[in-house]
Structures are given as structure tokens and as C-alpha cells.
């Protein structure tokens, strides 16, 4: 059963979550469109305070995020069915998009790792930061600083 709230079609469970919390659906649509939220950050926001063992409520919020992303134009009808496997694939795509967003942020701004974090990623992780993201490493008092070789304008740092 599909219910429409503020023009956004969503599952009954998602609609119940919206009604319970008073979420402004169109504000979330706009946040997705303007980049204030990604699907992953909106989902994290929606799940804040939800008990980890409350699978039904978590599923309702996942349905809500997919409905909002679909309405916002971030997903297409071709990716959406009621098939659970497809919904899981959509959620995987959303999570991968969040990982890509973080990777782009690290590539643009660099990252500072404590010595423990540097040890945890090991040589392979350090190599990936250098080779795949084009970062240079510098040791610092409290860890390792990975910085882009150029700024966002292509100028040497």
C-alpha cells in the first residue's frame, strides 16, 4: 500500500514514521536536492535514536529515504520495485555513494590520522591514500597528515 504525504509516495510504514515524528518531507527532499543531505546522511539522521534491534522501524525509515530520494530525482523508477532484493541493492548504492562522498572529501581536503589509525590502515592503506587519492604524507607530532599535492584549483600546495 502506498501513501502520499506532501506529494511524496511512500510505504505505509514510512508514512507512519513521518506521522509519528512530524518530519517535514519536502524539507528533506530539498535537503537531498541541494546537497545538505545525501541519502546516507538523511538515513543516519532518521535512525538517530532508533533502537538497533527495532528492525521494523529501521526498515520504515529506509523506505522513507528511498521515497524522498526518488522524489528528489536522485533515484529513478527503474531502480524501484517492491522486491526486497532490489530495495537492498538501492540501499547498498546509497551507502556506496556516501563512501564515494567521503573519499572525494578526503581527496580534496586531506586527512589527519593518529599514530594508532595509521598503524591500523597499514602500508596498504597508506599506499592507497598516496596512489589512488594522490595524497602526500607528512609525519606530525600526533600522527600522519595526508594532503593533496594540489589545491582544488590545481595549484601546488
The structural domains of the chain, with segments of one domain joined by +, span 2-104, 110-148
**pTM reported for the whole predicted model:** 0.50
Retrieve residue 62's grid coordinates: 529506509
d(CA 57, CA 145): 40
CB atoms within 10 A of CB 94: 20
Q: What is the pLDDT of residues 144-153, one digit of tens each?
A: 999 988 654 5
Cell 590545481: give the residue. 154
pLDDT of the residue at 74: 67
Q: Look over the chain and give the mean of its residue pLDDT values, rounded to a whole number.
A: 80
- Binned at pLDDT 50, 70 and 90, residue 109 comes out as confident
Q: Which residue has the higher pLDDT, 83 or 136?
A: 136
CB 144 within 8 A of CB 111: no
Q: Which residues contact 146 (CB under 8 A, 6 or more apart)?
A: 106, 110, 111, 112, 113, 129, 130, 133, 135, 136, 137
Q: For residue 50, is it left (φ>0), alpha (ψ between -120 and 50) or beta?
A: beta
Amino acid at each position: 500500500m502506498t501513501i502520499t504525504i506532501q506529494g511524496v509516495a511512500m510505504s505505509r510504514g514510512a508514512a507512519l514514521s513521518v506521522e509519528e515524528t512530524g518530519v517535514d518531507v519536502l524539507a528533506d527532499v530539498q535537503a537531498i536536492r541541494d546537497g545538505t543531505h545525501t541519502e546516507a546522511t538523511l538515513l543516519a539522521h532518521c535512525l538517530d535514536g532508533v533502537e538497533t534491534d527495532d528492525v521494523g522501524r529501521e526498515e520504515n525509515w529506509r523506505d522513507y529515504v528511498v521515497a524522498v530520494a526518488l522524489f528528489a530525482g536522485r533515484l529513478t523508477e527503474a531502480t524501484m520495485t517492491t522486491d526486497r532484493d532490489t530495495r537492498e541493492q538501492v540501499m547498498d548504492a546509497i551507502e556506496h555513494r556516501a563512501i564515494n562522498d567521503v573519499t572525494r572529501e578526503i581527496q580534496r581536503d586531506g586527512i589527519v590520522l593518529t599514530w594508532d589509525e595509521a598503524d591500523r590502515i597499514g602500508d596498504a592503506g597508506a599506499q592507497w591514500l598516496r596512489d589512488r587519492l594522490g595524497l602526500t604524507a607528512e609525519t606530525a607530532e600526533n600522527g600522519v597528515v595526508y594532503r593533496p599535492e594540489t589545491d582544488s584549483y590545481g595549484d601546488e600546495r
